[in-house]
């Protein structure tokens, strides 16, 4: 069986600089990581893999994004594919899903497409469902745990507002994963990092994946960015360290002064 894991390279910190003239986030000199939700999705694929199965990690980005895919190979993926083309730039979630969909159709013969339920930077939670729509296959979102595929079906533990539920689905399908609070991203050991250098790695452009170019990049995006700006900085808060009774009195005085109560 063939599992595909969609991963995204994201800034390691949420403290970013914005070019107010071009309305773009400045990425130069910013350290990056695999989006934690995507790494959890990779871990789920590794967990249910059986002998003979193949895990393919795929990502859209510039050549610097190769490091993210190499990390996926070190963690246990069998092959990496980087989708790199100028026409892919400035893609919103819809265009991103069309790019991924075209590449995945070229890969073919897949059983499950894993991805993060949300990304660490934009956090839209849209790519998984949109990718399922592009490929016309089922989707399961907020997936916390998956079981091995049996007789063409898979059971998935899904987070809900009330707790959990178990969903059974036929394959192929898209599984959008959300890690439990206990999840800690693994750091691959040096031997695995070195071994990753020998695993298959390919770079595909728009011509390689085919598809409708009018649905890629800014031309294929439904969302247009009008303006980016940095949120205003908050004033430093007040910490009251007195005994409980005294602290309550001071708090009430401050709340009254600010006409909160």
Q: pLDDT value at position 100?
A: 97
Q: pLDDT value at position 258?
A: 80
Could you give the CA distance from residue 123 to residue 252 in angstroms, rounded to a whole number? 37
Domains of the chain: 2-215 (3.40.50.620)
Give the Cβ contact number of residue 105 at 10 Å: 14
Could you give the CA distance from residue 43 to residue 77 in angstroms, rounded to a whole number? 9
pTM: 0.82
Q: pLDDT value at position 69?
A: 96
Give the Cβ contact number of residue 1 at 10 Å: 17
Q: pLDDT value at position 111?
A: 94
What confidence tens digit (pLDDT) does each residue in 148-197 have? 999 999 999 999 988 999 999 999 999 999 998 888 889 999 999 999 99
**Residue 108 CB-density burial (10 A; 0-12 exposed, 13-18 middle, 19+ buried):** exposed
Q: What is the DSSP letter of 116?
A: E
The ranges of the chain with pLDDT < 70 are 13-16, 23-29, 120-123, 230-231
């Amino acid at each position: 069986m063939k599992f595909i894991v969609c991963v995204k390279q994201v800034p390691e910190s949420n403290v970013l600089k914005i070019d107010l003239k071009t309305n773009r986030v400045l990425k130069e000199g910013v350290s990056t990581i695999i989006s934690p939700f995507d790494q959890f999705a990779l871990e789920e694929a590794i967990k249910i893999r059986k002998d003979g199965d193949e895990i393919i990690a795929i990502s859209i980005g510039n050549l610097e994004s190769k490091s993210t895919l190499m990390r996926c190979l070190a963690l246990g993926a069998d092959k990496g594919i980087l989708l790199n083309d100028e026409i892919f730039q400035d893609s919103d979630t819809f265009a991103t899903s069309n790019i991924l969909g075209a590449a995945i159709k070229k890969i073919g013969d897949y059983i499950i497409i894993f991805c993060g339920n949300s990304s660490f930077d934009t956090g839209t939670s849209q790519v998984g469902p949109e990718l399922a729509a592009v490929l016309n296959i089922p989707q399961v979102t907020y997936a916390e745990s998956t079981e091995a595929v049996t007789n063409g079906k898979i059971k998935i533990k899904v987070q809900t507002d009330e707790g959990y539920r178990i969903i059974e689905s036929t394959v192929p399908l898209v599984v959008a994963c959300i890690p439990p609070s206990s999840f800690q991203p693994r750091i691959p050991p040096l031997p695995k990092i070195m071994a990753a250098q020998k695993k298959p790695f390919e770079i595909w452009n728009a011509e390689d994946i085919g598809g409708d170019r009018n649905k890629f990049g800014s031309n294929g995006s439904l969302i247009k960015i009008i303006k980016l700006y940095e949120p205003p900085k908050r004033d430093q808060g007040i910490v009251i360290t007195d005994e409980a009774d005294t602290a309550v009195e001071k708090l009430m005085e401050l709340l009254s002064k600010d006409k909160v109560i």
